[in-house]
């Protein structure tokens, strides 16, 4: 998603208690970054404006969340959305951290010691051109990187509106040794998540009559 530059985003992020500007320093010790290091760690890759992760984190205080994106403007909006959700329930955001990083190089900031239990990938760029497909967050190249910091039996939850990306992703997961636990080509008719939160893109595409594809894959 293209988004206009927001001059306020960088200063607000740097002043935030739940934004980390130097994620490389926390490789292998992300759990120590949270108030309660005993909680399981879950990632969202490409968190965008943060509508999904802000609600997930508020509703699941027993889990620590790390949300990653590359664009300051997106992260600035995510920061504001997180603050809004936490203000609604009158608690401080102590179980969520935002950070800016290129997900293609994610192994520079995470490793096995971080023991990630789940990854959410929601409506990522489909990169339809052949030469760009390795940039897909679900490409085999990326999945192999995730395996380096996922716990055994960890899950990846993936949603998309793009049928081509979805069908290719099914192949990527199988090639990389993941087991497909659940799959649907129409998420709103065939729910596969125990508790789901509709993302901004999901709402937009659904209103256009586009069916949402989704899967849950488990690392064997």
Backbone phi and psi for residue 45, each to the nearest 5 degrees, phi listed first:
-100, 120
Distances (CA, A) of 16 to 21, 91, 92, 140, 160: 10, 15, 12, 35, 31
- Residue 5 and residue 180: Cα distance in Å, rounded? 39
In sequence order, the β-bridge partners of residue 19 are 98
Question: How confident is the model at residue 1, as a pLDDT?
Answer: 54
Q: Which residues of 103-129 are buried (b: 16+ CB within 10 A; e: fewer)?
A: beebeebbeeebbbbbbbbbbbebbee
DSSP character string of 54-84: HHHHHH-TTSEEEEEES-HHHHHHHHHHHHH
CB atoms within 10 A of CB 3: 14
| For helices 72-88 and 51-59, angle between their N-to-C axes, nearest 10 degrees | 30
The predicted-structure confidence for 74-105, as pLDDT tens digits, reads as follows: 999 999 999 999 999 999 999 999 999 999 99
The whole-number mean pLDDT for each consecutive block of 10 residues of the chain, a chain of 220 residues, reads 84 97 98 97 97 97 98 96 98 98 97 98 94 96 98 98 97 97 97 91 94 97
| Residue spans per domain, the chain | 9-219
Q: Which pairing describes strands 64-69 and 178-184: parallel, antiparallel, or unpaired?
A: unpaired
The predicted-structure confidence for 104-130, as pLDDT tens digits, reads as follows: 999 999 999 999 999 999 999 999 998
Q: Is CATH 3.40.50.150 what the domain over 9-219 is classified as, yes or no?
A: yes
Do residues 150 and 76 make contact, with C-beta atoms less than 8 angstroms apart?
no
């Amino acid at each position: 998603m293209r988004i206009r530059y927001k001059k306020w985003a960088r200063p607000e992020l740097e002043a935030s208690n739940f934004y980390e500007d130097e994620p490389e320093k926390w490789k292998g010790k992300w759990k120590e970054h949270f108030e309660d290091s005993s909680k399981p760690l879950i990632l969202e890759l490409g968190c965008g404006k943060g509508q999904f992760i802000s609600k997930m984190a508020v509703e699941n205080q027993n889990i620590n969340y790390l949300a990653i994106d590359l664009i300051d403007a997106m992260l600035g909006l995510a920061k504001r959305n997180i603050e809004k959700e936490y203000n609604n329930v009158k608690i401080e955001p102590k179980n969520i951290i935002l950070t800016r990083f290129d997900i293609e190089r994610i192994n520079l900031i995470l490793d096995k010691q971080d023991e990630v239990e789940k990854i959410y990938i929601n409506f990522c760029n489909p990169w339809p051109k052949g030469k760009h497909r390795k940039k897909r967050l679900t490409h085999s190249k990326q999945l192999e990187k995730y395996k380096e910091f996922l716990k055994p039996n960890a899950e990846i939850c993936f949603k998309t509106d793009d049928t081509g990306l979805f069908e290719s992703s099914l192949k990527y997961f199988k090639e990389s040794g993941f087991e497909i636990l659940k799959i649907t080509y129409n998420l709103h008719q065939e729910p596969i998540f125990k508790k789901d939160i509709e993302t901004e893109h999901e709402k937009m595409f659904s209103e256009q009559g586009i069916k949402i594809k989704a899967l849950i894959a488990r690392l064997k």
